[in-house]
Amino acid sequence: MPKQKAEPDPWAKTWDARLKALSRVLGKAQDKVFHAFIPFDLGGFADVLTFSNFVRGRTYVTADCTGPGVGQLKSRLGNYELMICTRKPMPDAADMISKLAPFTREARLQPGDTMEFPKRLANLKGFMFTHPKDKPLHFEFLGKRYGLLLCLGLTKDELALAKGNGSEQLLPLLKAHAVFPYSIFDRKSVLA
């Protein structure tokens, strides 16, 4: 009896295609993957990839929010992965976006939106969601186009400014003070 060729695992096919697509726009991924204890497609958190060539430091990117049947609510970016940039290795940042990923099935996170943390994390009180560059950054795999949404950590007064006056007023200040695109947990406010 002739050997039948094994059908590729759909999860592995999607994972490999997503990894390759993300590597094209962010540089080669590091071998370390932060795996969620309960997989995203079973109601758990997202796996997170690490990139060290997108910016100086580390870029952590979820790796479960795009692809067939993930259940994410589309934003203006369509379906997207969350990302966070840090100046040094910071597994806690990877953990934050991993745990935030399931929320994208319940809410449409848009560039310019903000989110307040229930409690302060070091000096940060919330996130502003934005593009990781001056314009949207996209990647494609399996015939579909996806986006990247940067989670940018804000202090309490920066969050208040973004909520009151809009993120478009705060973003130039974060860029002028060389904070953007980094979430720096122990930094002082750019408004101080």
Q: 111-139 pLDDT, tens per residue? A: 999 999 988 888 999 999 999 999 999 99
> How high is the pLDDT of residue 15?
96
> How high is the pLDDT of residue 118?
87
* Axis crossing angle, helix 167-176 with helix 156-165, rounded to the nearest 10: 140
Q: Would you say 126 and 166 are in contact if contact means Cβ atoms under 8 Å apart?
A: no
**Is residue 181 situated within a structural domain?**
no
**Is residue 118 situated within a structural domain?**
yes
Listed in sequence order, the residues at least 6 apart from 184 whose beta carbon sits closer than 8 Å to its beta carbon are 86, 87, 153
**Is residue 123 situated within a structural domain?**
yes
Number of domains in the chain: 1
Question: Residue 18 is part of which domain span?
Answer: 10-176
> Distance between CA atoms of 13 and 58, rounded to whole angstroms?
26
> How high is the pLDDT of residue 6?
67
Counting as low any pLDDT under 70, the low residues of the chain are 1-6
Q: Would you say 80 and 179 are in contact if contact means Cβ atoms under 8 Å apart?
A: no
**Is residue 70 situated within a structural domain?**
yes
> Distance between CA atoms of 23 and 33, rounded to whole angstroms?
14
> How high is the pLDDT of residue 8?
73
> How high is the pLDDT of residue 192?
85
**Is residue 184 situated within a structural domain?**
no
